[in-house]
Amino acid sequence: MSEGHGIPASILEAITQDGTSSPTNPPPPSAPHAHRHHHLHPTSDRKHGPLPAAPARRESVTRLPKDILEQKNELGPKLVIFMVGLPARGKSYVCKKLVRYLSWSGFNTRVFNVGNRRRVMATSNSPPPPPPLQLPPAPMSRQSLLSQETSSVSSVGSSSPPSSVAGESDTASTSGSRLALPRPSKARSVASMLLSKISGAYNGPVPEPCPSPIMNVPAGVTTHDAKFFDPSNAEGNQVREKLALETLDEIVEWLRTGGGKVAIHDATNSTIKRRRALLDRLRQEKGIKAMFIESICTDKRVLDTNIQMKLQGPDYKNMPPELAMRDFLARTANYEKAYETISQEEEEQDDLGFIKLINVGKKIIAHNVHGYLESQCVFYLMQMHIKPRTIWLTRHGESEYNASGKIGGDPPLTPLGRRYAAALAKFIRESHPPAVLSRSATQSNPSLQLSQPTILPSPDSVTSLSVPPLPPTPTSLMPKSPSILTDDNFGVADPRSPLAIWTSTLQRTYQTVEQLDESGEYDVKRIKFLNEIYAGICENMTYAEIEAAHPDEYAARQRAKLVYRYPGPGGESYVDVIERLRPIIIELERMQTNVLIVTHQVVLRTLLSYFIGVPLDDMPTLSVPLHTLYCLKPKPYGADLVKYRFNPDTDEFDEIGDTL
């Protein structure tokens, strides 16, 4: 076959089925995507020196095909997202959400944080630090208060070294450990205590700056105080503009040579001049598009939470709390002096494409947003909110196929699986009672007492996703009173909150929650998107039977489990399951109520990978055993996790840790 006339049919068939090479021409294990050519250089044993370099030639048609994920990252234009906004307005939160969603969707995405580059530069320019700064002693009551609270604060992402890449930011790191997560804590942070207890603590003078914008300060104190960010500080402005452009150069290099698809420029980018400079630089590159996301926040409660997170970031994590608060507020005031929101002038003159997020998604403005990636970002961000809720995830109880080692099919539960279902129903009723009033509330207000169980309707509906829809259950409203709101149970912000229950359409998942549905206490929906991966011609077989009957398919799956697609009509790969679950993820992001999802091994791996941030390459080997219940509480940095395991000796659930 001559060069340049397409890919052989056998290779096309191979990539359609499993994303790997044809069994007759497999790639070497150590280089699955290596290029192959018809010509080879002979050994260089000539006495007159090595052979001259071969003339440039077109690539051979025998080059191995790329898998679907490589194609997704190479086809179409690449994208740079520029964040815009004042400090503590949720920019890093938006960055982390986008990185998690786009990476899970198969797009190579990374955050490049200008603040990290600034800290690296400051560290390299600074001499060894003197002893730590000592503040004057505070009154005993306040000192005791702070010492008690400091021990309960965890600095998210503080263990990672400063870097401008890999999703790191001022407040947390998206590249942190995915398997070790902080336990949920009811303790209030130092920043919260400062805001509520130390009135006027940050009205004092800001520390005097050194002449240089790269300050040489004691250990434990930020390398740049608020004066560095003053718009009247010409030298500081010059350094910050230089760092922003250098970070963009790093982004372009990564997109060109590092296999990147989406890069996020995480900085304030708060002036028209800065944004135009960045846009002019990027427009010199072909095949790279730009989009700006401006985060605006006027909600004081959200701002207070963001400030607490900011004071745990790398600029302030080792700084005395009172000094950190004063400096941060002064820094923000300096930014506000020069801050320019994205304006109509930029819309008209610069042909700017942008999204404005106001108060964490309560209001969204999109202008001149075109393209698949940009549209995905808009649609995803429209679902964003910060209200607390709990997501419970589990596989079905043991099925007859689990006991016999077969895959696929639609088998019923075993007796052990039904015991798990009974224990799960009891656990859920205790954790999320459908109608619960505190004893003190009913005693003080007899009108709140209920003569019959009351079912709360859920404001979140997935009727459009249900296959088939279940009959509606009678509902009635419960009186709303702040006096009965509690947080006594982990994962229950409000015991009166409704709990949605989703299962697949396969009987083993529905049988796992059948007791909860038959009682009429909960709204159970059967959703086809949650079905197990379909194994095509390998359905209803054991892995030993597959290896014996289809050895080439078995070997192909072992080589590339993520992109391998089972042969036969309807056969799926992990990548196909990701695409199938995209509406589920969007719905989970949108929902503001608690939910229990009972599903299957591959689907559970995929969902956990999204919420915990497991890399796609590790997803197919993630351990998700039967009879294990995962409790997730979404947080700005990802999700808190608590894991429970069914104990067949007691028919109860035992808490077994907070790691995968």
Residues designated catalytic: 266, 297, 532, 600
At 246, list the tokens.
């250098």
- Kind of pairing between the strands at 594-599 and 638-647: unpaired
Neighbours of 359 (CB within 10 A): 18
Q: How far does the chain reach from its first CA to its final CA, in angstroms?
A: 50
Contacts of 565 (CB under 8 A, 6+ apart): 16, 17, 18, 19, 571, 572, 573, 576
Degrees (nearest 5) of the Cα angle 176, 640, 480? Answer: 150
Element containing residue 97 per DSSP (H, E): helix 91-104
Degrees (nearest 5) of the Cα angle 466, 388, 376? Answer: 55
Neighbours of 242 (CB within 10 A): 12
Provide φ and ψ at 591, rounded to 5°: -60, 145
State the Cα–Cα distance between residues 173 and 314, nearest whole angstrom. 10
State the Cα–Cα distance between residues 51 and 43, nearest whole angstrom. 9
Query: In sequence order, what DSSP letters do the residues of 267-311 get, joined into one string?
Result: S---SHHHHHHHHHHHTTSTTEEEEEEEEE---HHHHHHHHHHHT
- Using CB atoms within 10 Å of the CB of residue 533, give its burial: 0 to 12 exposed, 13 to 18 middle, 19+ buried: buried
With beta carbons less than 8 A apart as the criterion, state whether 356 and 225 touch.
no
State the Cα–Cα distance between residues 505 and 139, nearest whole angstrom. 63
Q: What are the C-alpha distances in Å from 367 to residues 273, 297, 347?
A: 20, 19, 8
State the Cα–Cα distance between residues 460 and 383, nearest whole angstrom. 12
**Among residues 624, 629, 358, 659, which one has the least CA distance to residue 513?**
629
Residue written as token pair 């108060």: 359
State the Cα–Cα distance between residues 638 and 597, nearest whole angstrom. 19
Helix, strand, coil share of the chain (percent; to 5):
40, 15, 50
Provide φ and ψ at 83, rounded to 5°: -80, 150
Query: Could you tell me where the beta strands, DSSP code E, fall in 307-416?
Result: 354-358, 363-367, 391-395
Torsion angle of C-alpha atoms 602, 604, 609, 610, degrees rounded to 10: 120
